[in-house]
């Protein structure tokens, strides 16, 4: 994989990364948050019920429009990618690199929109490393052909939510990936 874009190293870099893909402008990150909040509020009692563990900080984080915000309000790799996938109708692949006993450990999850058929089949790939998000894509070969980034397993909550709300949301869009 290669880094395509590294947003400003201010807080909100995860939202800035999504903004760069959706609006071609990292400075529209507040619009990303607003659309994600609208989506969260729409589904918080169904698809997101018992999923977002926040004690109110999740909603406060999406409402915070300060460039420098508390760490609790930063884009995370557990809940925010799913809400962004639903808000923007695009699958999101979240990679993260952490250290476990000083050994690098790569984690990844695929987040597919719950309620809309993805408008663009190309997933948005983001990478969290040292508390900073990067927009990434597959590397290219010497001939210029793009290699494929392996799609990780779908996030563990997806199938359970689809099963639980099958009467409301009868189509599982994860089958397209």
Q: What is the pLDDT along the chain (177 residues), one digit of tens a residue?
A: 566 767 777 778 899 999 999 999 999 999 999 999 999 999 988 888 877 666 677 788 899 888 888 888 888 888 899 999 999 999 999 988 765 555 555 678 899 998 888 777 788 999 888 888 888 876 667 776 666 667 788 888 888 888 888 887 888 888 777
The span from the CA of 68 to the CA of 59, in Å, is: 17
Q: What is the pLDDT of residue 169?
A: 80
The span from the CA of 157 to the CA of 168, in Å, is: 17
Q: In terms of residue numbers, what domain contains 130?
A: 2-176
Q: What is the pLDDT of residue 55?
A: 61
The CATH number that applies at residue 85 is 3.90.70.80
Q: How many CB atoms lie within 10 A of CB 50?
A: 8
Across the beta sheet with 2-5, the strand order is 2-5, 132-137, 120-129, 90-100, 103-111
Q: What is the pLDDT of residue 84?
A: 96
Domain count, the chain: 1
* 103-111 and 120-129 beta bridge pairing: unpaired
Helix or strand run (H / E) with residue 63: helix 57-63
């Amino acid at each position: 994989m290669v880094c395509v874009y590294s947003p400003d190293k201010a807080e909100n870099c995860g939202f800035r990364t999504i903004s760069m893909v959706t609006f071609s402008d990292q400075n529209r990150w507040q619009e990303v948050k607003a659309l994600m909040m609208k989506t969260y509020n729409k589904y918080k009692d169904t698809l997101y019920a018992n999923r977002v563990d926040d004690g109110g900080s999740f909603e406060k984080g999406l409402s915070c429009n300060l460039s420098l915000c508390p760490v609790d309000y930063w884009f995370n790799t557990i809940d925010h990618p799913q809400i962004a996938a639903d808000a923007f109708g695009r699958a999101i692949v979240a990679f993260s690199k952490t250290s476990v006993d000083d050994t690098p450990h790569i984690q990844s999850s695929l987040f597919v929109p719950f309620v809309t058929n993805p408008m663009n089949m190309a997933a948005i790939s983001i990478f969290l490393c040292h508390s900073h998000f990067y927009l990434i894509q597959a590397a290219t070969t010497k001939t210029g052909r793009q290699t494929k980034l392996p799609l990780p397993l779908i996030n563990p909550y997806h199938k359970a939510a689809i099963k639980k709300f099958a009467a409301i949301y009868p189509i599982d869009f994860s089958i397209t990936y």
